[in-house]
Amino acid sequence: MPVAVLTLQLRINHARSLKDRRQVVRSLKDRLRQGFNISVAELDEAVTWQSAVIGVAAISGSRDYLRGLMEQVEAAALRISVGAGAEITDSWCEFVD
């Protein structure tokens, strides 16, 4: 059964404290969970307040379904991050069978 893993690197330009950073990350994670049937987690310890790495995972019987789902999740993450004052600087998707 295939598993899709999407990794998003964020840059939070306006974050001046850990609280600012957490607010953006929490908002993104919560909104993605609400909109899709996926698991979302913060992956790395923050080196700076202006960066974060988010991981998204989903499992399905269909690899094509997962590919489409991850494309939708990435597009939604782009919209949400812009609204939250962040930008996605890099993203990549991997499939595990």
The pLDDT tens digits for 34-63 are: 999 899 999 977 677 889 999 999 999 999
pLDDT band at 29 (very low <50, low <70, confident <90, very high): very high
- The percentage of residues in the chain with a pLDDT greater than 90, rounded to a whole number, is 71
The total number of structural domains that make up the chain: 1
CA-to-CA separations, 17 to 13, 22, 29, 33, 41, in angstroms, rounded: 11, 9, 19, 25, 20
Is the whole model's pTM more than 0.85, yes or no?
yes
Specify the CATH number for the domain of residue 31: 3.30.70.1120
Range of the domain at 90: 3-96
pLDDT, residue 46, reads 65
Percent of the chain with pLDDT over 70: 98
